[in-house]
Amino acid sequence: MTNPRCAFDASPSRGRRQRTGRAGSAASAWVLATILLPAYAGEGRTPLPVLEAATAGTQCVEPADVMRRNHMRFLKHQRDDTVRAGVRGAKYSLRACVDCHASQKTASVAKVETNFCVSCHSYAAVRIDCFECHSSRPQAVAQQASK
């Protein structure tokens, strides 16, 4: 069998261990990262998401830190329950999220950059595809618009 390095026109190693860098390369990288990076980055380089408050007097289905980390898992699980078992309006329904988190100004969670979903997803550089099929407006607003 041919040495894989030879297959790509590289010279064979002839049994010698190849070094990936000089002995001080890790230390040099650490020094550069701790000294130069903070000066380069500057404070506030990446603006934090601006979240509009949820509907007054409502309590989320889970604490905020749990929702930040796991909301997609909850939505996917709810999606599977809805599609496969016909369970609608359960604890983690997308409609309930939209009804509470829609902006007072735009009546949406995904219309402008400051809306609830768009703000965090832009910050995390994650594409939102929920609202290609689902409404990004609360149910009451969507029903009024359709009349």
Could you tell me the pTM of the whole model? 0.60
Measured between alpha carbons, how far is residue 77 from residues 71, 72, 85, 87, 94 in Å? 10, 8, 11, 11, 11
Burial class from Cβ neighbours inside 10 Å (0-12, 13-18, 19+) for residue 101 reads buried
Rounded CA-CA distance 124/69 in Å is: 12
Q: Express each pLDDT in 80-139 by its tens digit.
A: 988 898 888 788 888 888 999 999 889 999 988 889 999 989 888 999 888 888 889 887
Phi, psi of 142 (to 5 degrees): -65, -40
Q: Express each pLDDT in 3-46 by its tens digit.
A: 555 555 555 556 656 555 555 566 566 555 555 555 555 565 77
C-alpha triplet 141, 143, 145: angle, nearest 5°: 70
Place of tokens 């934090």: 48
Q: Which amino acid is at 123?
A: Y
